[in-house]
Amino acid sequence: MLDLVVRRLLLEGFSNLQSLSNTLKLSVPILNIVFTHMRQLQLVEVKGMLGNDYNFTLSQAGKMLAGERFQISQYAGAAPVSLKDYHSATKAQAAQVRIDRKILRSAFSDLVVSDSLLDQLGPALISQNSIFVYGPTGNGKTSLAERMLRVYQDAVLMPYAVEVDNQVISLYDPVVHQKLEIDDPDVDPRWVLCRRPCIVVGGELIPSMLELRLDESSGIYAAPLQMKANNGIFIIDDFGRQLMSPRDLLNRWIVPLDRRVDYLMLRYGVKFQIPFELMVVFSTNLEPSDLADEAFLRRIHNKIFVDAVDDKAFDQIFHRVVTGYSIPCEPDSAEYLRKLCLREGRTELRACYPGDICNILTSIGKYEGRPPFMSKSELERATALYFAKG
């Protein structure tokens, strides 16, 4: 606490207990104990009163101490919680999902999903074990994965930062965590209330993203992605096409997926355990057997195949998309588009076709300075642009 306060005072110059409380997420009574200790050590100089609060700054001795502490770490934000408390809180907030087909149908209401697929997703989500979603490209695997978060109706508390061996790991990330406002004096302000996180990575995934990353200039560690995703979902999209090879990723996570714990290491070799309390969703259009061996696939309990769509589903998707784009069309447009999509040796209808074709029709309309419309000739023009020649 003393290190945090002197670093913060060095940054702010003048401050008071209430201001430090807001910044460091510590209660005023705790900060008053630290402040009293600092006065005894002649580390601060009181410059006056602000109501019932002291207005103070660092003394020369305080500035020297702060300078020394800055050499070790420049962290001066919310007070970190202990690794033990982080373990306990993460385990206590493990997701427990109660869903049925009706609830799932509502969660995926903006997609055309068959009952048979919902009946595979339901048990998989209830289990909260890892999920392998695979099948031909363009049939909504990523869309399904991203909407799995909707089955969670609660929120979780996560710390701004965690302390390990006197090192600070910054955990809360406003880019990926959705903060919820809370007005509860009983909640420790070092913890922030958030929606359950959902982190999505694709081809950019590299090994360093799964390890602690030390900022050399500040001395602060950034939490790896799986730690930021704790109590939520971690989606690996286009699995098998990352810069990190599937074998390296699977070897890295074979223990976490099995035992729900992970191991990280500080720069100087101290190794420690963190919870791996998240649902990992692998989404790929490659064959599972080409990506992983049997020992790893055994640890992924749920394997869901997302097949190409049939005529009925294709037409449903078509009408939803056309309505969304407000493109006027002829009554038999869906059937005609189906025929165009199955020309030239193509054998499958894919869920992405209607949306992609409507995008092209919209672009054609903008190019020609008119509203888009859907006729047989326009559909032929759009599909000629869309499909590569065999």
Q: Please report the domains of the chain, with CATH numbers, ordered by start residue.
A: 2-78 (1.10.10.10), 84-93+127-305 (3.40.50.300), 311-386 (1.10.8)
Contacts 24+ apart (CB under 8 A), 20-29: 23/76, 23/77, 23/78, 24/76, 24/77, 24/78, 24/79, 25/78, 25/79, 25/160, 25/189, 25/190, 26/1, 26/79, 26/189, 26/190, 27/189
pLDDT the model gives residue 240: 84
Residues 52-75 as b/e (b if ≥16 CB within 10 A, e otherwise) read: ebbebbbbeebeebbeebbeebbb
pLDDT the model gives residue 163: 96
pLDDT by residue, tens only, the chain of 390 residues: 899 999 999 998 889 899 999 999 999 999 999 999 999 999 999 888 877 888 899 999 999 999 998 888 899 999 999 999 999 999 999 998 889 999 999 999 999 999 999 999 999 999 999 999 999 989 999 999 999 999 998 999 999 999 999 999 999 999 999 999 888 888 899 999 999 999 999 888 999 999 999 998 888 999 999 999 999 999 999 888 888 888 888 888 888 988 999 999 999 999 999 999 999 999 988 888 788 777 778 888 899 999 999 999 999 999 999 999 999 998 899 999 999 999 877 889 999 999 999 999 999 999 999 999 999 999 999 999 999 876
Q: Could you tell me where the DSSP H helices lie in the chain? A: 2-12, 17-24, 28-40, 60-72, 83-92, 101-107, 115-127, 141-147, 225-228, 246-259, 288-291, 294-299, 311-325, 333-341, 353-367, 376-386
pLDDT the model gives residue 243: 82
Please tell me the distance from the alpha carbon of residue 196 to that of residue 202, in angstroms, as a whole number. Answer: 20
Cβ atoms of 266 and 273 within 8 Å: the answer is: no
End-to-end alpha carbon distance in the chain: 68
Amino acid at 69: R
* Residue 216 burial class via C-beta count within 10 angstroms: exposed 0-12, middle 13-18, buried 19 and up: exposed
pLDDT the model gives residue 390: 60
Give me the residue label for tokens 């006027």: 328
Cβ atoms of 222 and 170 within 8 Å: the answer is: yes
Please tell me the distance from the alpha carbon of residue 184 to that of residue 339, in angstroms, as a whole number. Answer: 60
- The predicted model scores a pTM of 0.87
| Token pair of 67 as six digits | 């300078």
Cβ atoms of 109 and 320 within 8 Å: the answer is: no
Please tell me the distance from the alpha carbon of residue 49 to that of residue 310, in angstroms, as a whole number. Answer: 75
Cβ atoms of 317 and 351 within 8 Å: the answer is: yes
CA-based nearest residue to 126, from 306, 301, 307, 305: 301
pLDDT the model gives residue 79: 95
Please tell me the distance from the alpha carbon of residue 170 to that of residue 224, in angstroms, as a whole number. Answer: 10
| Token pair of 279 as six digits | 């649902």
pLDDT the model gives residue 326: 92
Please tell me the distance from the alpha carbon of residue 212 to that of residue 83, in angstroms, as a whole number. Answer: 14
| Token pair of 343 as six digits | 């020309």
How many Cα atoms occupy the beta-carbon half-sphere of 70 within 13 Å?
12
